[in-house]
Amino acid sequence: MEENKIISNCRLVIIGGSAGSLNALMRILPELTALHNYAIVIVVHRKSTDDQTLEELIALKSSIPVKPIEDKTILIPGFVYIAPSNYHLLFEKDDTLALDTSEKINYSRPSIDVSFESAAEIYGSSLVGILFSGSNTDGTSGLQAIQEAGGKIVVQNPLSADMPFMPNNAILFTTPDYVLTNEEILALLNSINR
């Protein structure tokens, strides 16, 4: 099965979160060093509206430039991408991002599981998946898919999460490579960029 994995030119960090995850992101994104060889994609549960408030807030706080996502946006190293509201975010073999309006998964669209599983199929061992704070089970099966594809999985330490249910569930049903505080996640992200 490993021989079927598409290893892209772009290395990818995909971050998922729900309630409380924005606080963690706001602590990490301003302190990131420039991304040279990977892109970051953020998938967070959000209200089903068309406004760009989340993208604008992250763009203001992030030290890394933020690119908006439309259907068939090309993923480029050096940028942060944020899944838009009311769409599942999927990854394609040619480093493009696709938007999908199929039914909600875990009561959510975007679903973290859907995006994590899609990214795992394309990026395999060049993928790092990070799961932050939240109050449902979304993200756990996606982390399993990333690990099965050879990628690394990171879970926010539940003691540092505003809503520990989501990271606790991931720890219960997966074997994370790392369970880290926000500061430790920042250090990991900066270290893989070297």
Q: Give the tens place of pLDDT for each residue, 54-84.
A: 888 888 989 899 988 999 999 999 999 999 9
Indicate whether this model's pTM tops 0.85.
yes
Helix (H, G, I), strand (E, B) or coil at 135: coil
pLDDT at residue 98 tops 50: yes
Q: Of 8, 21, 45, 108, which residue is the catalytic one? A: 45
Exposed / middle / buried, residue 159 (Cβ in 10 Å: 0-12, 13-18, 19+): exposed
The token pair at 54 is: 């989340």
Catalytic residue list contains 18: yes
Marked catalytic residue, from 88, 126, 133, 138: 138
Which pLDDT value is given to residue 8? 57
Q: What is the enclosing helix (H) or strand (E) of 182?
A: helix 182-192
Strands 73-74 and 96-100: antiparallel
Annotated catalytic residue 138: yes
pLDDT category, 47, cuts 50, 70, 90?
confident
Amino acid letter for position 63: S
Tokens coding 65: 């430039």
Find out whether 136 and 17 touch, Cβ atoms under 8 Å: no
- Report the pLDDT averaged over residues 105-125: 94
Q: Please report, in angstroms and rounded to a whole number, the separation of the first and last CA atoms in the chain.
A: 30
CB atoms within 10 A of CB 145: 20
pLDDT of 185 above 50: yes
pLDDT mean across residues, the chain: 91
CA distance 53 to 35: 24
Which residues lie closer than 8 Å to 70 by C-beta, 6 or more apart?
A: 99
Query: Looking at residue 2, what is its pLDDT?
Result: 44
pLDDT grade for 50, boundaries at 50, 70 and 90: low
Measured CA to CA, the distance from residue 100 to residue 130 in angstroms comes to 22
- CB-based burial of residue 194 (10 Å sphere; 0-12 exposed, 13-18 middle, 19+ buried)? exposed
Token duo for residue 118 = 């899609």
**Nearest alpha-carbon partner for 54 in 110, 104, 13:** 110
In the residue annotation, 115 being an active-site residue is answered as no
Instruction: Considering the candidates 8, 18, 85, 111, report the single residue annotated as catalytic.
Output: 18
Output the pLDDT for position 54.
Answer: 82
